[in-house]
Structure 1
Amino acid sequence: MVLSANPDWLYLLREFDHVYRRGSAGGSAVIRGHRRRVREALSRIIDNDPEIGPREPHTLPVVAHFGRAIDMAATGPLAALARAVDRVSGQITWEHGYSRIPQHLARQYAYCELLGPQGPVRADCLIIGLVLFAPNTTYPQHSHHEIEESYVSVSGAWSENDVAVYAPGSLILNRSGHEHRITVGGLDPCLLAYAWLGPAERLAAPQMRFSKPARKG
């Protein structure tokens, strides 16, 4: 089945396009360029009407917080995106993405790829997906080689590298190789949308791993 024959997925991608087209870059030329590259890649993909290859839906413990995350987004700036996500929620494959993951984190975190090499919407030049965190989660330090990443906050309060607290609607850019660590507030879950840009071979095999702690002394 192609994208145009599945309205729920088409509308979802249009909502992502809206986020990257209408939001502010806050005066940053670097962020403005990233937003442009994401929406240009996404527009090409939509115009090419790619195949949708449904994957087997899969859930993980943190998905118990998904409903609350969607409810919180209902009154926020990305309510339309959250509604579009909810429409396809029964078709989502939630994953950890790491061959080894701490036991406590396995209960507090999951991500899903909505568009990319693994689908369901097939593309090789862009990945779009979601990350869900339970309350009071610390997502360890990591980076992405040859991948430029942006997070867009859909619901919940979170911080990256203890620099600021980000509210729904915020966009945070991580350049290739940038080390970052995420913490989430203690009362509610956090739902982030994300986009990855990079070489097709890297997006197909991102080799996700946490950074080794720096040696002391």
Structure 2
Amino acid sequence: MNMVSHETVQALIDGLLSAIGAAPGVPHNSDIEPLLLALKCEGEPTGVRAKGGMPALDHLPVAIQNAGSGPDEIRSLAESFEKLADSLPWYQRQEPALPDFMHGHANAFIIGPQGLEERGGVTVGVSFLAPGVEYPNHNHPPQELYVVMSDGDWRQNDDPWHAPGLGGLVYNPANITHSMRSSQQPLLAIWCLWT
């Protein structure tokens, strides 16, 4: 795989910032201000190489196409994402007791030590679910913000599932238990982790 240019990564970050700014229900500015500042930092290439070959990724073109039907900011973000998707270091969370999940999902780092660039102490990645897959409950110390690029359902703790819709945001405070699931269409979301 060819290395992705800084300009290609920057186009995705610019699209991500635009999508966050345009989304309904933006978290309180003080909650996400460190994230926004970190995303605006200059990126340093990491030299990480692409990894793919996961069965779930067969559905990725459909998810990108579906994102194109969203608001202008999501359409632009999807176009930027498509240009670098094949160059990402995709991986799967190992859950041997959940084979449908293991074979039906893929994640990749875009920004961070395991991504294409490092930038301001923030980690940016993408999560993808093939149709009919639930990402199991999980939590982590960093705060997280998902930019939703598809239909799908999201949940925190034992709260009811909700659908933020294309262009919606899902904010997860530090250490909150959360999950997501796809419907009959694949789920695509870009996420940001920061402390």
| TM-score, L = length of structure 1 | 0.78
Higher RCO, 1 or 2 (CA under 8 Å, sep at least 6)?
2
Q: Is the 8 A contact 2:44 2:119 kept in 1?
A: yes
Q: Tell whether 2:58 aligns with 1:61.
A: no
Q: Work out the percentage of aligned pairs sharing the same amino acid.
A: 20
What pairs up with 1:30-49 in 2 under 5 angstroms?
Answer: 32-44=29-41, 46=42, 49=43
Q: 5+ residue gaps in structure 1?
A: 199-217
Larger Rg: 1
Query: Equivalences for 1:12-161 in 2 at 5 Å?
Result: 12-25=12-25, 28-29=27-28, 32-44=29-41, 46=42, 49-77=43-71, 78-98=74-94, 102-123=98-119, 125-144=121-140, 146-161=141-156
Q: CA RMSD in A?
A: 2.2
Secondary structure of the corresponding residue to residue 131 of structure 2: coil
Note the C-alpha offset of 1:6. 3.2
**Distance (Å, rounded) in 2 between the aligned partners of 1:128 and 1:80:** 17
The runs of at least 4 aligned residues of structure 1 exceeding 4 Å deviation read none
Superposed CA offset, 1:163-189 (max 9, x none): 32221111111111101122221x100
Structure 2: tracts of 5 or more residues without a match: none
Which residue pairs with 2:9 in the alignment? 9
Matched letter for residue 58 of structure 2: A
Contact map agreement 2:56 2:129 (CA 8 A) in 1: yes
- Of the structure 1 ranges 52-61 and 125-134, higher mean CA displacement relative to structure 2 is found in 52-61
- What letter corresponds to residue 76 of structure 2 in structure 1? A
Deviation at 1:160, TM superposition (A): 1.7
**1:128-170: CA deviations, max 9, x gaps?**
11100111111111111x2111111111222324332221111
How many aligned positions are there?
Answer: 188
